[in-house]
Structure 1
Amino acid sequence: MNNSEEYRTEPNLDYAVVFGSVIVLGLPLNAVSLWILLRRHSLKSSNAIFMVNLAISDLLLVISLPMRVYLYATGTWPLSSKACTCITMLFRNNIRSSSIFITLISVDRLLAVVYPLRSRHLRTASNAWKSVALVWLFVLMVNIPEGLAHARKLNNSSESTCFEFHRQQQQQEQPRSALSYFQLVLVVTLLTVNLVSTVLVSCSLHKRLNDSAKVNNKVNVMLIFAMNLVMFTICFLPVSVGVLTIKRHEITPLVCLASVNCCLDPLLYYFSLDAFWKKKEDVDLAREQQTRDNLFS
């Protein structure tokens, strides 16, 4: 199937509009957020390191969406099967990497709020970079067999489009791959970690309700965890379940929903980093003052 004329689907302007809207919002939001994170916040902070990599993951997703817009707007795929596989993997990689980075941000905030002094040796830039390297290595290791399987299935199917399968093929629907089950287990596990972190932080903040010196911007702290749970339950979980429970040609609405996560992630940067718009020197001074307050409280 090397001829682009064989890659066809029925045009769907609704899908094209959704993916186009994600591009219009997600590209500038993540690009500006990445610029602010790199320019105004030191990468010596574990939280900032996780945020930078989350923004990179979202930008990789956004740059893959124009071809989806073209496919659903015109009904044709002008590129090769290899290009289709690469773009498909960018989307799947975003779900995995984003969900992991969001969870790391939750755990980092949990340690900062509940165990501010005991966790200082854990919440270092060195440990953060090691975690980031492991995440990307994990994503790559999963991507290789999954990409090869996707390319093989695409080339062996006489009636497939780039991202979907025609209805005629559903009578011979193949069993779901082990990676599909792994995807669901991963998302559910990470969602559980976020739920536990939310409960622990909520209890800790409730005990310190009148102690503003220890935890500043309590509402913002809880908004971080609320946003994380929203992204898991709306963006990541439905598509992970849908891959196993519904037919392939019906999963595109859930793919649209999952892609919206790259527009929501910039809200995390605003709520999660103290003084997001301030220069990193001002933030460092604020952190030093917060440490002194913790030591003498």
Structure 2
Amino acid sequence: MHGNCTNFSIPANSVRFQASAVVYGLVLAVGLPLNTFSLWILLRSHGLRSSCAVLMVNLAASDLLLALSLPLRVYFYATHQWPFGVATCTTAIMLFRVNIRTSCIFITLISVDRFVALVFPLRSRCLRTSACACKCCAAVWILVTIICIREIIKLHSTLNNICNVTNLPCFEYQGDAKGSTIMAVAQATFILILLVINIVSTVVVIVVLKKRPSAGAAKVNNKMNVILIFAVNMLVFIIFFLPFTLQLLTFKGENDSEILRALICLASVNCCLDPLIYYFSLDSFWQDNSKRQMDVGTYSLSRSNERVLN
């Protein structure tokens, strides 16, 4: 079966391995509880009743999937061993790729949702519904899954051809990055398009907020929070998504592997920063659902009284 197998051993670079184990361990320690708690708060206090909440629930779920795969990376870099087989290695690697792809899409959708809510508050009501957001999120997951199927088959086959399958160089082996120029170009182009959308949305929102009156029906109560939403989104794209994607695009071979592994490690940190988006994007993020329902009921009663008096 392995007559034409590829010889590849785990490098004995203890310093980089220890650094990777520490970084992934910190991301796991922060990202797992933070995203679990954020997902619980989103579902408990906001549910799926608004487009923004639906998008954030899906973003938190994507980050949680990445966080759940990090113990395997910590174990590999801490022990220099991989006794879990090809299938587990393939799954762990693909969870990272799924997170990068879904996160950048969901973050952009959150920016677009906030953008149209601010710039077109009345005309966007028919589009900014939970049902529409659920359909968009379902389409994202289906599209990313379809894209990953071919990669899963190719990666599993490549890893299976390594001679020492009992101790795979799982996260170190970058052989599948070679010859994937079309996918790398497509991913880089897509990331750049999403980055442009975020930049345009940010610029337009800043201009609109400057022109928006400070009082009256068109008043925005938390202008700083609105700006911070777009600032965090831009930060995530520029620091975590863009370098990894561009390096993958220019990947030449083993000489670029060290940089690529470092950028993969950096990109995993995005799951720790995403909860800031939830905090700044949703009004009353910490507010209990029963309290919000009481506020809504009080508002409806006051409106009814006004109609009776008029």
Same fold, TM-score > 0.5, yes or no: yes
Question: What is residue 194 of structure 1 aligned with on the other side?
Answer: 198
**Distance in 2, Cα, partners of 1:125 & 1:55:** 16
| 1:9 Cα deviation after fit | 3.8
8 Å Cα contact 2:48/2:130 also seen in 1: yes
Question: What is residue 295 of structure 1 aligned with on the other side?
Answer: none
**Distance in 1, Cα, partners of 2:124 & 2:90:** 41
| 1:212 Cα deviation after fit | 6.7
Question: What is residue 42 of structure 1 aligned with on the other side?
Answer: 47
**Distance in 1, Cα, partners of 2:206 & 2:199:** 11
Query: Which 5+ residue runs of structure 2 have no aligned equivalent?
Result: 3-7, 304-310
Check 1:115–1:62 CA distance in 2 against 1; reply closer, same or farther (3 A cut). Answer: same
1:109 pairs with 104, 109, 114, which one?
114
2:264 pairs with 249, 252, 255, which one?
255
- State the identity %: 50
Check 1:288–1:226 CA distance in 2 against 1; reply closer, same or farther (3 A cut). Answer: farther
**Distance in 2, Cα, partners of 1:219 & 1:102:** 18
Question: What is residue 181 of structure 1 aligned with on the other side?
Answer: 185
Greater gyration radius: 2
1:272 pairs with 271, 277, 281, which one?
281
8 Å Cα contact 2:58/2:137 also seen in 1: yes
Please state whether the residue corresponding to 2:285 is helix, strand or coil. coil
8 Å Cα contact 1:23/1:65 also seen in 2: yes
**Distance in 1, Cα, partners of 2:80 & 2:163:** 17
**Distance in 2, Cα, partners of 1:288 & 1:240:** 50
* RMSD across aligned positions (CA): 2.5
Count of aligned positions = 284
Question: Counterpart of 1:19 in structure 2: which amino acid?
Answer: Y
Question: What is residue 218 of structure 1 aligned with on the other side?
Answer: 223
**Distance in 2, Cα, partners of 1:282 & 1:187:** 40
**Distance in 2, Cα, partners of 1:73 & 1:178:** 34
Query: Which 5+ residue runs of structure 1 have no aligned equivalent?
Result: 293-297
1:164 pairs with 150, 172, 189, which one?
172
Check 1:255–1:174 CA distance in 2 against 1; reply closer, same or farther (3 A cut). Answer: closer
Check 1:103–1:174 CA distance in 2 against 1; reply closer, same or farther (3 A cut). Answer: closer
Q: Is 1:128 the equivalent of 2:128? A: no
Question: What is residue 56 of structure 2 aligned with on the other side?
Answer: 51
Question: What is residue 83 of structure 1 aligned with on the other side?
Answer: 88
Q: TM-score, normalised by structure 1?
A: 0.88
Q: Deviations over 1:52-76 (max 9, x none)?
A: 0100000000010111111111111
| 1:41 Cα deviation after fit | 1.0
Q: Deviations over 1:32-69 (max 9, x none)?
A: 11111011113110000000010000000001011111
8 Å Cα contact 2:18/2:77 also seen in 1: yes
Q: Is 1:25 the equivalent of 2:39? A: no
